[in-house]
Amino acid sequence: MISKVDFARIYDEFYKRVTQYVTRIVGQNDSEDVTQEVFDKISRGIVNFRGESNLSTWIYRIATNTALDKLRTPAFTHFSRRSGLMEDINVEDDNEGAFHSEGLAEQNLIRREMSVCVREYIDNLPPDYRTALTLSEMEGFKNQEIADILEISLDTVKIRLHRARAMLKRALDEGCSFYHNDQGSLACDRKTVVNRNLRIRA
């Protein structure tokens, strides 16, 4: 059992991580409200935490359920989520460090563009697939941990990840042209013939 006294430690350790995670699910516009709701739930439920799962699993389960509940609200719009997510991408990438040489600056620009491109397509995945892929690729959880967070079977996690990656690859192949530039770095150009605002379907 965790006491109320430990909530401050949990808040300090997980606040930034949870904020980044829910932003990837609901977008920047709603991330602050969702994060606040997550930690309200943690504060109320912490006295009943028995350690039957990892603390991070329990916290991310609350964060996931809260974020997905937000997606299901009638007032939540796809436009709101996408515009907020793009703000998050730019801020997060700008804070990753200063690049002083022209070569490194160009590589950073290319990496940022590719990151934005890939995450736009991840953003368009159906919520179940997007959540599983985000937990795996961006949050670094193992398959069994994802199963515990989402309260689904390990086989279901594997299926969702396989389908999400296949859908993402297909969308990227259709929407982006990847190549090596003059510096030998992998870069991408968007194919304008693809409507990237369309939600990716299986």
> Which pLDDT score is estimated for 94?
41
Question: E strands of 123-171, at which residues?
Answer: none
Which ranges in 46-141 belong to alpha helices (H)? 55-71, 78-94, 102-123, 127-133
Percent above pLDDT 70 for the chain: 67
pTM of the model: 0.72
Residue 136 per-residue DSSP state: I
pLDDT of 162 higher than 90: yes
Of 147 and 124, the one with more pLDDT: 147
Distance CA 171, CA 157 (A): 21
pLDDT of 148 higher than 90: yes
pLDDT of 202 higher than 60: no
pLDDT of 142 higher than 70: yes
Contact 172, 121 (CB under 8 A): yes
Range 125-148 average pLDDT: 92
> Which pLDDT score is estimated for 151?
95
**Two structure tokens written together for 201:** 């379907």
Complete domains list, the chain, with CATH = 1-96 (1.10.1740.10), 103-202 (1.10.10.10)
Range 98-103 average pLDDT: 45
Range 98-107 average pLDDT: 50
Percent above pLDDT 90 for the chain: 39
Which are the contacts of 49, defined by CB distance < 8 A and separation ≥ 6? Answer: 1, 2, 55, 58
**Two structure tokens written together for 112:** 């940022």
